[in-house]
Amino acid sequence: MSLKELLAEPQPIPCKICGLPSHGMHFGVMTCRPCAAFFRRFVVLKLNYACLQDRERCSLNKIRRSSCRHCRFQKCLQMGMSAENVQLNREGNNPLNLSKKHDPKSEPEMIIQCQAEPSTSLMPVIKLEDQLYTKSILSEIRYDNLWKDMNEIFTSGIPSTKHGHFATLSPLYRFVEGLKLVRKPQQTERIKFENRLSMNTLVPHWRAQARHTAILSMHSMAFRNIKSMADKTMIYKAVWRNIYRFERIQMSTEIFGGKCVSEKKLAISCEKAIQLDALFFDLEGVAQEKVKLSLQDYKAFAERCVEEVAKPLNELCPSIEEVAFLILNFVLHNEDTIKGEALEVCDEFRDNIADDLHKYYQDNEIVNYAQRVAKMMSIIIAMKKIHYEDLGGGFIVNTRNSENQVVEMPTGCVYE
């Protein structure tokens, strides 16, 4: 071998599944991290996809993230990846105590350093930008033109992915940062119960939540990397209410614990909560019979959320990393809304956050993480069913049978 060959930069070994540079041995085969995450997720969650029966997307010679998932998994098996090597039970000497309720205020900051840190001369500018951004999150909302406000948020490019604290974080932790931000004003002991809901309280409440959800969405790299503003707006309009509901249901379990389920206590914002059994609507100009029917519909919806989502969430007691994973996967599992180029972006993002969660479990030596992930996926499926039933009008049965009149309910639905 010549000196030139000895001194030459070693070529990375290609992934046996997709052909991209590998990152090491995973489940018995040299693969990249995304393909390893795909295989792990397929096995742990016991996923089952039908073959697309498409010559290009089913080709085993050029597997990409947009390829047929059934055929991609089959290639993993053909190359020798073994389900027996997936660690369903990872035991450590110092497992994380998940029985303790998560307290966002006491949680230490977790920063994953990037290789290219900003120069010291930029730090005052970065610090000022971060301060202005945080201030803008908690600023007054322009209720006169909400969708214009949403569009400005989506085109702002804030928070920056090039410098500052946000730029140092991996995809999952960027969304964690968004959760911390929108939850910053969260009241716990001093949260106020407001069981009398009127349009004067509901309209500003829902507009505030719409804005906060838009800001939270900008912490998702899958959402940010969708180039088409039309696609972004369509996805956001379809899922924002249930992103907000999901986040509020989980926060309710943190604030109220078991009473969220047993006494049906729900935190509908950072400042206000309701108790379902004591709730009533004060809707001026609406017939009392219609108000009564609307309340019945809302309670049917809310009780489903409590029983099928809040109850298992309270039993799971997720960390903020797992909450971020739950919300992101709820959005990513709305396949009817995410299509075309956006679907490919989201598939890659799904691999990245699965990798981040796996690393989080490894770093914290969490026992039986596969069972936790399976429980989380069951919660996502439950919320997804409620979401689609809501979109299909399944929770306005009583109101639909009454007179035709527009009423916006505290679930965020517009009843006609």
Both 31 and 170 in one domain: the answer is no
C-alpha dihedral (92, 94, 95, 100), degrees to nearest 10: 170
- Answer whether residue 415 is part of any domain: no
> How deeply is 10 buried, as exposed, middle or buried, from its count of CB atoms within 10 A (0-12, 13-18, 19+)?
exposed
Identify whether 185 is preceded by a cis peptide bond (ω within 30 of 0).
Answer: no
In a domain, 237, yes or no: yes
More confident residue, 319 or 51: 319
Taking the CA atoms of residue 190, residue 196, residue 198 and residue 203 in that order, the dihedral angle to the nearest 10 degrees is: 30
Helix, strand and coil content of the chain, in percent to the nearest 5, comes to 55, 5, 40
**Residue 400 confidence class, pLDDT cut points 50, 70, 90:** low
* One domain, residues 254 and 377: yes
Residue, of 147 and 168, whose pLDDT is higher: 168
Category of 413 on φ-ψ map: left (φ > 0), alpha (ψ -120 to 50) or beta:
beta
- Say how many C-beta atoms besides its own lie within 10 A of residue 99's C-beta: 6
Place of tokens 């078991």: 258
Over 80: is that where the pLDDT of 68 sits?
Answer: yes
* Alpha carbons within 13 A on the beta-carbon side of 195: 9
Residue 168 covered by a domain? yes
pTM of the shown model: 0.71
Q: Both 270 and 338 in a single domain?
A: yes
For residue 401, what pLDDT band results from cuts at 50, 70 and 90?
A: low
Pairing of strands 280-282, 196-198: parallel
Residue 324 lies in a domain: yes
CATH number of the domain residue 240 falls in: 1.10.565.10
pLDDT at 141 over 70: no
Is 112 inside a domain boundary?
no
Domain total of the chain: 2
In terms of pLDDT, which residue wins out, 5 or 383?
A: 383
Residue 121 lies in a domain: no
**Do 283 and 353 share a structural domain?**
yes
One domain, residues 154 and 77: no
Domain shared by 242 and 138, yes or no: yes
User: Do 200 and 284 share a domain, yes or no?
Assistant: yes
Q: Is the pLDDT higher at 149 or at 185?
A: 185
**In a shared domain, residues 219 and 145:** yes
Q: Do 181 and 78 share a domain, yes or no? A: no
Of the chain, the percentage scoring pLDDT greater than 90 comes to 26
Domain shared by 353 and 240, yes or no: yes
Residue 332 forms part of a structural domain:
yes
Q: Is the pLDDT of residue 366 over 50?
A: yes
Range of the domain at 144: 130-401
Domain of 37, CATH number, reads: 3.30.50.10
pLDDT at 340: 67
- Considering the domain architecture, whether residues 380 and 236 belong to the same structural domain is answered as yes
- Please state, in angstroms and as integers, the Cα–Cα distance from residue 88 to each residue in 43, 85, 99, 332, following that order: 9, 9, 20, 24
Same-domain pairing of 40 and 187: no
The yes-or-no verdict on residue 127 having pLDDT over 60 is: no
How many CB atoms are closer than 10 A to CB 171? 22
- 416 located within any domain: no
Tens digits of residue pLDDT in 232-290: 888 888 888 889 999 999 999 999 999 999 999 999 999 999 999 999 888 877 788 88
Question: Which one is predicted more confidently, 89 or 178?
Answer: 178
More confident residue, 216 or 23: 216
